[in-house]
Each structure stands twice: as structure tokens, then as C-alpha cells.
């Protein structure tokens, strides 16, 4: 679940690991964007999206959204667990800082500088030089595949990223859809930089925590958009992760 297509990296990673699994993608196009709503608003919308997903009786629910994980994870778990294991998304600060830095974190303005992110930096990157880079508008641009806008925002964020940065944390799941574009934008000032997303680790955790999985599924894909069963939005097909789900 996510407000929009930020769930695509996790969904594609899960499909790659378990092609037989039936996937349900629960989104909230009617309520986007979540980040401007404040903690209570995010929680209310995230709960609605989680409930729509829960009606499908999944073996596990992945909250594939950093903002929802920050503000709503506890509320979703309180309502759905233990019947449905709920797995949140944590920015990959710990593995990114393992090399000693310098580290940059690209995230939404709502997440950048938040107590949540600062706590992760304190707990897992206290020995590294860390730069927090807000990327206003980038998640929305990705959501609607506005390519010129994406290029402009990525260029600004790249300019704000200290030269010589060795590790970049993608602190919004939408950003993981832009790995190639971000790497290219940083190639000159941060040669050899490594990007750290959360999708693979989150999916592996979901498979570990899931209720005993059905022996096999049919590899189906169900898309819920503010509770309505619809097709995957056209913008999703602008990215390899989206196209892979329909392959």
C-alpha cells in the first residue's frame, strides 16, 4: 500500500522473488498527496488504504511508503495485527552508513529533518557525515510521470548533494523508480556513488513475517484505487517496475 505508485519498487521486487504470488496494490489517488496533511491526516488516509487491502485477506501487508510508516504504522498494526502482519518501510540509512560516509539522504520535505529521520541518523549513522536533502515536488512529479519536472528537481537535489558523497539513501519509495536518472545526475560530482533503497529488504522481511503462504497463486494483480478496483494507472508504465508487473 502507498498513496500512489511509490509501491511499485516493492511490488516488482516481490514479483521477482515470488512470481506465483497474487499481488494487491492499494493506493489513494483521491487523497493525494499525503505529505501535506499532517500526522493525523496521513494516519486517517493510510488506515483507509490499509482497510481496503485487508478486505482482500492478504498473507501480509507492506506499507510501502515512508511517510505512512512514520505517522501511521502503529495505528495500522493496532488495527490489523496479529491477523495480518504489517511491515513498514524504513529508509536504508543503516546500510548506507556502514561504509563510513559521506552519506546523503534524499527525502520529502515532510520527512527531511523529522524526529523520525534524525533518530535513524543518530542510531545508525552517528559516525558518518550525513547531508539531508529535501526534494519538494519530486514524489508528485514521479506519480504523474512529469519527466521534465523530474529532471529539473533531480538536478537541483544533485547540486545540493555534497561533492564526494559515497552513499545516497532514497528516503521516499517514489524515488526508487528514478535510480538511473539520479545516478546519472550525480555521476560527475559523486563518481561511484551507491544508491540505497528499501524495496528488496522490505519485501524479504514481508516474506519472513507473512502468515504461511498459500502453496501457490496465479500471479494475479489487483489494483485498488481509493477502494475501487481499477487498472494500474498509465503513469506507472513509464517506469520499468510498473511495466514488469504487467509483463
Q: How many domains does the chain have?
A: 2
Judge if 180 and 136 occupy the same domain.
Answer: yes
Per-residue pLDDT reduced to its tens digit, 177-211: 999 999 999 999 999 999 999 999 999 999 999 97
Is there a single domain that holds both residue 82 and residue 163?
Answer: no
To the nearest whole percent, how much of the chain has pLDDT over 90?
78
Whether residue 98 is found in the same domain as residue 174: yes
Give 118-136 pLDDT, tens digit per residue: 999 999 998 899 999 999 9
Whether residue 105 sits in one domain with residue 129? yes
| pLDDT of 218 | 85
CATH number of the domain within which 132 lies: 3.40.50.1860
Kindly state whether residues 161 and 103 are assigned to the same domain.
yes
Domain containing 34 equals: 5-88+199-246
Residues with active-site annotation: 65, 172
- pLDDT of 17 > 90? The answer is yes
pLDDT of residue 141: 96
**Lookup: cell for 53:** 487491502
pLDDT value, residue 170: 97
Amino acid at each position: 500500500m502507498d498513496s500512489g505508485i511509490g509501491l511499485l519498487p516493492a511490488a516488482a521486487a516481490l514479483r521477482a522473488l515470488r512470481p506465483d504470488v497474487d499481488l494487491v496494490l492499494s493506493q489513494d489517488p483521491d487523497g493525494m498527496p499525503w505529505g501535506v496533511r499532517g500526522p493525523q491526516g496521513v494516519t486517517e488516509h493510510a488506515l483507509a488504504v490499509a482497510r481496503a487491502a485487508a478486505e482482500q485477506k492478504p498473507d501480509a501487508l507492506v506499507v510501502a511508503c515512508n511517510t505512512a510508516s512514520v505517522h501511521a504504522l502503529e495505528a495500522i498494526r493496532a488495527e490489523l495485527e496479529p491477523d495480518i502482519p504489517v511491515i513498514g518501510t524504513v529508509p536504508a540509512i543503516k546500510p548506507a552508513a556502514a561504509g563510513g560516509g559521506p552519506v546523503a539522504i534524499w527525502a520529502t520535505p515532510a520527512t527531511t529533518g523529522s524526529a523520525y529521520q534524525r533518530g535513524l541518523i543518530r542510531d545508525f549513522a552517528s559516525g558518518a557525515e550525513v547531508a539531508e536533502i529535501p526534494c519538494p515536488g519530486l514524489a508528485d512529479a514521479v506519480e504523474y510521470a512529469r519527466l521534465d519536472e523530474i529532471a529539473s528537481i533531480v538536478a537541483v537535489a544533485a547540486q545540493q548533494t555534497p561533492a564526494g558523497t559515497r552513499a545516497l539513501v532514497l528516503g521516499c519509495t517514489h524515488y526508487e523508480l528514478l535510480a538511473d536518472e539520479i545516478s546519472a545526475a550525480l555521476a560527475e560530482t559523486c563518481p561511484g556513488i551507491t544508491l540505497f533503497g528499501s524495496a528488496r529488504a522490505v519485501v524479504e522481511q514481508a516474506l519472513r513475517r507473512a502468515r504461511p503462504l498459500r502453496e501457490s497463486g496465479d500471479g494475479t494483480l489487483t489494483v485498488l484505487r481509493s477502494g475501487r478496483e481499477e487498472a494500474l494507472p498509465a503513469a506507472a508504465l513509464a517506469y520499468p517496475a510498473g511495466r514488469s508487473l504487467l509483463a
